[in-house]
Chain A
Amino acid sequence: MDSLTRLDNIRLSKATVSFEDRFTLSEIDWTITPEQHWVITGPNGAGKSALAAALAGIGDIQSGSIQGLPNNVEIVSFEAQAELIAQELKKDDADIMDVISLGTPVSEMIFDHCQEAELAQALVEKFGLSKLLERAFRKLSTGETRKVMLIRALANKPDLLILDEPFDGLDVDTLAMLQAHLASLIDTVPMVMVLNRFDEMPDFITHVAYLDKEREDKERGDKQSGDIGRLKLTVDRQDDTAFNELYQLLHLKTTDLSVPEADPTNKLPALDPSQPLVKLTQATIQYGDTVIVDKLDWTIERGQHWQLSGPNGSGKTCVLSLITGDHPQCYTNDIFVFGFQRGNGESIWQIKQFIGYVSTNLQWEYRVSTSCKNVIISGFYDSIGMYTKSTDSQKKIADQWLELLGMQDRADQPFNKLSYGDQRLLLIARAMVKHPPLLILDEPCLGLDDINRQLVLALIEKICQGSETTVLYVNHHAEDQITGIEHYLGLEKNH
């Protein structure tokens, strides 16, 4: 029988492929070995179909290479389907004889295309197209043309089978039949599918590739135009954790849900809009003779998003803790925050109510055994753990956040049993739940693997969309940029 050993690995090396100036796949590194079966997934516009098409030899390779593609590649996609139909219609137009064209019959479309007539015949019966064989291809419904496409591809015994959304528009019986048929091919042909929905993923799929759109970057200004898609992650399906995280990421990227509103029944005190949110004057932090922060002047106006950067030990977290009130030396400095000149009888809880805060440290300190939902609600109280009864309104908002995160089924699970990445997501939701005037994200991606970094960034991006909150972002990773930050403060190591 067909042995997969006849096939080479397909290897994309820094492959940049453009599609008529509309879309570019950028620097794809990807290897498909013959015994693997892949699903390509990602949010809309990320280039899933483009990547599938590139495997079928479509698109212009601008740089890098695609090697090991077999000669006999079959692709079933909406684009290919549309093209086939367009060709048919063109034939119609091209008909110069004064005869009403009937168009190409289905039988011709199928049997002329493939050499294995017997297999084609069997598939025609399986797909229930026997009665339509004599009908003109262009008279078929969309679902029927899709079936013809599938039969053509399958009957041709390809060495690489690419199926772009193959299950869309199929009735339940056909879908089950197709899935079963594909399953019978797993030892004969590698398959690559584009799927938007994880629950449609056949059991035989071994790997998932996740693509995402590059944020539009006006300063890029090179020859790449239009949207850019990148291969962000590949996940082995055996890895349950990563697989579930990918599922969550896809949810977060594709959900129509937006960030839940603040609690209408318990509004934060209004701030004087003419005052800055934060004003540090000659702020200095010193331990013995060691000066950590030296005479720092810093004003954060409302709506001014800031990025704070600096090497380890430059005092980034110290500066933040002056703002949050967690640093004991905030009483010896000239600090104005949210209408309070510090050290005049205000309590830290009066300060903290205006701040949402996330850091690795917070995660370490958040070691109480409480439910996921309570972790989110605790953001209303700025507490670690819950010590008071929550209101119905708060519970409702927490449920909305869990839904946004795709974690509603984990509402009552203990927080400390979650993965590190999921904990981080919940803590970000906790920080944002009250829609604080200032959201401090202190290295929110620190300690996270690729996929969880993607998750966190997806959530932060969601939060930043149309929010009144001023964001103060601390990060080392240059690639983890957040859209809309225009102000930068760099700290240097003083000691």
Chain B
Amino acid sequence: MANYFNTLPLREQLAQLAQCRFMHTAEFADGVEALKGKKMVVIGCGAQGLNQGLNLRDSGLDVSYALRPEAIEQKRQSWKNASENGFVVGTYEELIPTADVVLNLTPDKQHTSVVNTVMPLMKEGACLSYSHGFNIVEEGMKIRDDLTVIMVAPKCPGSEVRAEYVRGFGVPTLIAVHEDNDPKGEGLALAKAYAVGTGGHKAGVLMSSFIAEVKSDLMGEQTILCGMLQTGSLLCFDKMIEEGIDPGYASRLIQYGWETVTEALKYGGVTNMLDRLSNPAKIKAFDLSEELKDIMRPLYNKHQDDIMSGHFSKTMMEDWANDDANLLKWRAETAETNFEKTPAGDVEISEQEFFDNGILMVAMVKAGVELAFETMTAAGIIAESAYYESLHETPLIANTIARKKLYEMNATISDTAEYGCYLYNHACVPLLAGFMKGIKSDVIGKGLSLDDNGVDNARLIEVNTALRSHPVEAVGSVLRGYMADMKKIV
């Protein structure tokens, strides 16, 4: 199999990367009609598989689960998940031939083997659905011509997909149709109905392409979303210890700090996040982030280049073939870091204190979000995609760190994201070594503690203008506006 993206001419690559559109509610007026009475068979009964299936069934659709025979015979967790929830469970041979839609909700690294097994069993003209385009775009999986291939990707962990549905809502969802596999032209109708079935249409649906999804998703997750937060956690913690801050306090400031500062990001973008600081602290954070951006820009470029060229996926797939040797080693190393091993102390930190004492963390988030956005759009990814895969998802990942630190983050995200995160971290920690030498507890741990909060007018205006005029803020305010219309409670 060859990297699909690399087989396309530049013109087609750019056209595919530029796809991303926020869909209007009226486009979902047909509800689940396109899937009504059709047989949907889910492969994989993990968090996404089970929870999407529960939602689809509660939306009136016919859902069953195909599992490998050994999972059924040994009553593995996937079998328990499906059968205790009252679903019909069967082998691939039993269920796939009856399926109108096959939902491939297995982890990326199983896709090739799963699709190779399933495809010959699928009936003529059926639909194969993915929730991530890696297999098609990076691995170049070729799907039978008569099959329709779509992607429906809820942009949240499976548990949230279910919880939001039960509340009467949904999670933002990305849909796409693989243009090479839309023989009957029904791909979009099926993808829309599927998004309605999981509740996604209530939270906002982005119409994208397989390529835009993969290239932006990979970039976002390994740089700002996971990589930057991991590197930032480790560096900030070690610096605070070096500066004599109580380890329990330092651990808490970081574990819950990302969540708190990115909550402000979620509501009002980078601008609002920095507006939460005092004027002198804001200027300080701005200056730090400019410095960080200069230092890290080559790294962001490298990640984007490796993703576009297919180098990243190639090396990762080599690790898959090597029994995940690197991934497992790096995972173990993360567990041994000082931050990970120091429990959060039993101290009260007020919401504002996370900002005041975490100026460097704010600067890191700003630098990471803007760099990722700039790099993606420079590589031909449309601003909407770049926004979602950088700024929009940062609070979601920050929430996982608040739950159980880096371990939880890396356990929740995909193996692909985790692998990319470690790559980033290994490069970024040494890259920032010199920068960190100049850092003191005034920007991480203690706050500025100035007698006078005065600032120079001209400088403040400069900083505010720079913040507010960044392109991620422009597209962000439009998209957040759409979202707010749909979801009063952000």
Contacts and interface: CB of A to CB of B under 8 A. Distances in A.
B173 to A, nearest CB: 14
A328 B489 contact: no
A384 B37 contact: no
Contacts of A347: 32, 58-60
Nearest to A384: B167
B489 A385 contact: yes
A149 B271 CA distance: 71
A329 B488 CA distance: 33
Nearest to A344: B60
Nearest to A370: B489
Interface in B83-97: 84-87
A370 B488 contact: yes
Contact of B202 (A288, A350, A387): A387
Contact of B169 (A325, A331, A369, A383): A383
Contact of A346 (B60, B167, B488): B60
B57 A385 contact: no
Contacts of B37: 345
The interface residues of chain B, by DSSP majority, are classed as loop
A386 interface: yes
A328 B169 contact: no
Interface residues of A, number: 29
A49 interface: no
Interface in B37-90: 37, 54, 57-62, 84-87
Interface in A322-366: 325-326, 328-332, 345-350, 365
Contacts of B203: 387
Interface string A356-394: 000000000100111000100010011111111000000
A328 B169 CA distance: 19
A331 B36 CA distance: 17
Contact of B84 (A288, A325, A348): A288
A382 B165 CA distance: 11
Contacts of B202: 387
User: Which of B32, B61, B488 counts the most A-chain CB atoms under 10 A from its CB?
Assistant: B488
A368 B58 contact: no
A329 B57 CA distance: 12
A385 B487 CA distance: 9
Main secondary structure on A side of the interface with B: loop
A385 B169 contact: yes
A383 B486 CA distance: 14
B167 A325 contact: no
Contacts, number: 63
A345 B203 CA distance: 23
Q: Which of A328, A329, A387 has the most CB of B within 10 A?
A: A387
B60 A345 contact: yes
Nearest to A331: B86
A347 B197 CA distance: 9
Nearest to A382: B168
Contacts of A369: 489
Contacts of B169: 383-385, 387
A356 to B, nearest CB: 14
B488 A387 contact: yes
Contact of A387 (B60, B84, B168): B168
Contact of B57 (A287, A331, A381): A331
A383 B84 contact: no
Interface in B116-148: none
Interface string B162-173: 000011110000
B464 to A, nearest CB: 28
B147 to A, nearest CB: 25
B168 A383 contact: yes
Interface string A284-323: 0001100000000000000000000000000000000000
A328 B168 CA distance: 17
Nearest to B485: A389
Interface in B261-297: none
A378 B489 CA distance: 12
A331 B56 CA distance: 13
A328 B85 contact: yes
A387 B60 CA distance: 21
Contacts of B36: 345
B84 A287 contact: yes
A325 B57 CA distance: 11
A325 B58 contact: yes
A325 B60 CA distance: 12
Contact of B486 (A287, A384, A387): A387
A396 to B, nearest CB: 19
A368 B84 contact: no
A370 B169 CA distance: 14
A332 B86 contact: yes
A384 B164 CA distance: 9
Nearest to B85: A328
Nearest to A286: B84
A332 B60 CA distance: 14
B459 to A, nearest CB: 36
Contacts of A382: 168
Given A331-B57, A346-B60, A387 B86 contact: no
Nearest to A374: B488
B150 to A, nearest CB: 21
A383 B37 CA distance: 26
Nearest to A378: B168
Given A331-B86, A385-B488, 17 more contacts: A325-B58, A328-B54, A328-B84, A328-B85, A331-B57, A331-B87, A346-B60, A347-B59, A365-B166, A378-B168, A383-B169, A384-B169, A385-B167, A387-B202, A387-B487, A387-B489, A388-B486
What 5 A-B pairs have minimum CB-CB distances, sorted nearest first?
A383-B168, A328-B85, A384-B167, A332-B86, A347-B60
15 contacts: A328-B54, A330-B86, A331-B86, A345-B61, A348-B58, A350-B60, A365-B166, A370-B488, A383-B168, A385-B168, A385-B488, A385-B489, A387-B203, A387-B487, A388-B486
